[in-house]
Amino acid sequence: MAETPSGSERRPTYRTTTGGTTVVELYGEIDILAAPSVTACLDDLTARGRPDVVVDLRAVSFIDCAGLAPLCRARNRVARRHGRLRLVSDSDRLLRVVTGAGLRDFFEIQDRLPEAPAGEPGTALYAMAS
């Protein structure tokens, strides 16, 4: 039997660049157990006007429809606030799940993090409580 990731592995972390882009890093399995903490994190980060959020999914080993739900919710919240949401993944598996769910054109998906302007360090990395 496979071990279930610990709570600390399930918590999203984020950092905000000086340009205002927030990079959220998700890890492990994004499923029904992880969805509440992902939703809480993304709700907090998309609550203000014109959010610019990048969700880094490169360390995600599994995502299902329950894991896609918080991403869809965040995308809708960002669109209502005239912001931008980007997903970062180089995983063919994740792209197949997104495409199979009919969401390929719903998300802006990139294979690497956007380049920060020269001299633009990020702020500290924060872990969201579950």
Residue pair 34/55 in contact (Cβ under 8 Å)? The answer is no
Domain annotation for the chain: domains and CATH numbers:
7-127 (3.30.750.24)
With 50 as the cut, is the pLDDT of residue 7 above it?
Answer: no
Which alpha helices (DSSP H) does the chain contain, by range? 7-10, 35-45, 65-80, 92-100
Give the model's pLDDT for residue 34.
95
Q: What is the pLDDT of residues 61-118, one digit of tens each?
A: 999 999 999 999 999 999 999 999 999 999 999 999 999 999 999 999 999 998 754 4
pTM (two decimals)? 0.81
